[in-house]
Structure 1
Amino acid sequence: MEEPLQFKLEGFEGPLDLLLHLIAKHKLDIQNIEITILLTQYLDYIGQMKRANMEIAASFLAMAARLVYIKTASLLPKYEEESEQLKRELSGQLIEYQLLKEVVQKMQQRYQDGIYVRLPMEIKADQTYSLTHDSTLLAAAYLAAAGRGKRRLPPPRAAFSGIVSRRIVPVESRILYVLDRLYREDFIPYETFFESGDRSERVATFLAMLELIKTGRICVSDDNKTVYFAPGQPPQEKEAQIYDD
């Protein structure tokens, strides 16, 4: 069975296209359609096509029935709310169809001009930190940051307690100590001078020996193991030399 011939209506792709034409022609508000005027114009156009013996597509007749139903519902108070809802749905379809037509026209224009890409769009950068790290690395970074913060603080008072509380040993007293021991023993092992006493005494003894070596009163063997009087100081002068100092 052969399909019946269909003719494209004069410049219109479908019923929505015809409705947009009528709305623009009669300057109707697409947001608030006056169904009475639109229905009258739409049926008049359908009648003209019938009189011209043109075959009318089913979609055009279905739209005519839809407009009649909306008009009928608007006349009955009981269905007034439904009528308004149907008008809003029709208005939304017409607005959407109008936007689609505008897009098609722009695409056709770009195709004719040889432009096949869309206009550049601004891409917003994602500010979300999405990397993952090992927990040990995060802990080490935290401790390092905390350590830098502590280094900026002044040292606590307890850090100076060991220095302030130590007694001061005069170097002069350790000079007499070294000379007295050498008077009693001519040759004394170097390490024995540091076997007793606290740190302050040992430091003062070391400075005393440096002073005595510098002034030429005592000597240290080449192997740094023995301390003795320097040559040129007779034994009988040792005691006097000690107390003269």
Structure 2
Amino acid sequence: MDSSETSLPELPVRPTAAEEIGLPEVVDQVALARLYGEPLFALPQDLYIPPDALEIFLEAFEGPLDLLLYLIRKQNFNILDIPMAAVTRQYLQYVEEIRERNLELAAEYLLMAAMLIEIKSRMLLPPKKTAEGEEAEDPRAELVRRLLEYEQMKAAAFRLNEMPQVGRDVLRAQVYIEQSLQPRFPDVHILDLQEAWRDILRRAKLVQHHKITREELSVREHMSLVLKKLQGRKFVEFEQLFDPTRGVPVLIVTFIATLELAKETLIELTQAEAYAPIYVRLAYQPA
């Protein structure tokens, strides 16, 4: 090349994103994550992770007795001869961990820790003789009794939980039974029955009788007459049960007989709707 020719100045080359973070253009390693579709090979320097974000609880206990029972059974200790030094040390380690995280939860465990320390201290002292010369009760006796009772109740609760439960393991069978297509008429209101009775009395007063007689009227007899009128008929209008030509006394006895039959559920009074005619029928219709 001729020396007289001038060379063009070199332009600065901007480094790529991979070169900025110290990685080559072609990366063979697996990315830690992807952010908006782009591989992320290193964690951001300003990424904040809360201290409790990755906290893992391996065991969950329902109380101090549950924790004690777990420590004893896990290490195959004899529950009737508990090594108080080892159990107390492990128990206090767990209480110290939960005390740093949840002081309210640790309060219940601290009470049991004080009891364990007291039992451990009493075991270091020489046993006292009783007045009868017998040895004093083992300081661990009360704790062993509570642990055995708790273990029995926990086993019973586990067996109960294994039993099938409605809504969790089984569902109640629901069968839809189609009701009869025969319409059910609403019950007769007492006011409609009174109005029908007044109408019958008004019609009875229109019939004048000049014959004076004394007639012995029986409610039972008229009850039988009403049942005979209803026999073999599906419905009978309420007014058809009464004969205004026989006078008001007969109407009254017939009305009382009808009420007695309804009271004894031998007949039924029905009405399709308000102010509609009232019908009477036998309560039992033979097939």
Measured against the shorter chain, the TM-score band is 0.3 to 0.5
Greater RCO structure (CA 8 Å; 6+ sep)? 1
Kindly indicate which of the two structures has a greater share of residues assigned to helix: 1
TM-score (norm 2): 0.33
TM-score (norm 1): 0.39
Q: Which has the larger radius of gyration?
A: 1
